Amino acid sequence: MIELPEAVVLAKQIGKAVTGKRIKKVTAARSPHKFAWYYGDPKEYHGLLVGKAIGTSVSYGGFIEIPVSDAILLFADGVTLRYFAAKEALPERHQLWIEFEDGSSLIGSVRMYGGLWAFPTGTFDNKYYWIAKEKISPLSKAFNGTYFNSLFNEKTSTLSLKALLATEQRIPGFGNGVLQDILFNAKMHPKKKVKALSNNDKEELLDSLKLTLTKMVDGGGRDTEIDLNGRPGGYKTVLSRNTVN
């Protein structure tokens, strides 16, 4: 599942691999998937994108946004993105295939569920996408103690730490995957109530949040996910399916 670290890593890799390349052909929904989400009719993706050049990709929370002239490609959740050089063998099953004029390809395949959206810029009315674009990234300097403390209020005081940090898009891109390691490193239980936190606890939690996320990004994503080249991330998770005995 794409969470914040993987979105950052994939956006950088996509930028290096395909920025400036012009789209030759788009094939969407070739392999039907009940939980592959598209914008409108996926058959219209080719007409929207063909002949246009890829701009600089960016990430917002768990979203990967790729500008394509006057359109946007957007990916999220359980989408596996892969880059293939010209003449390299391609997977038979996929939900989105973007072929470039130089013969290389960007392919999106959905696991459990995921979004592969292509739309004219400014037309996608998805609240999670817009919240992710508007909120401060926890990797930025602006995500400081003052900002973090704003998450703690009367409405959130009765929540567990898991509910506070991984729901309601309070921190876009946060899911159980990154949260487990952040709380483990902070030596805090996911069910601990927000109102039980001392000021020192909040400082330790913020430190763990920023340090753990930085390690995940610097490592190329978590080892439970694969990057644009099909390699697992280099960050070894403390708590995940890979650590279950």
* Per-residue pLDDT tens digits for 164-205: 999 999 999 999 999 999 999 999 999 999 999 999 999 999
The structural architecture, per CATH, of the domain 4-132 is Alpha-Beta Barrel (3.20)
Domain residue spans of the chain:
4-132, 137-218
Q: Region 117-135: what's the mean pLDDT?
A: 97
* Per-residue pLDDT tens digits for 69-95: 999 999 999 999 999 999 999 999 999
Of residues 152, 145, 141, the one with CA closest to residue 203: 145
Percent above pLDDT 70 for the chain: 99
137-218 folds as Helicase, Ruva Protein; domain 3 (1.10.8)
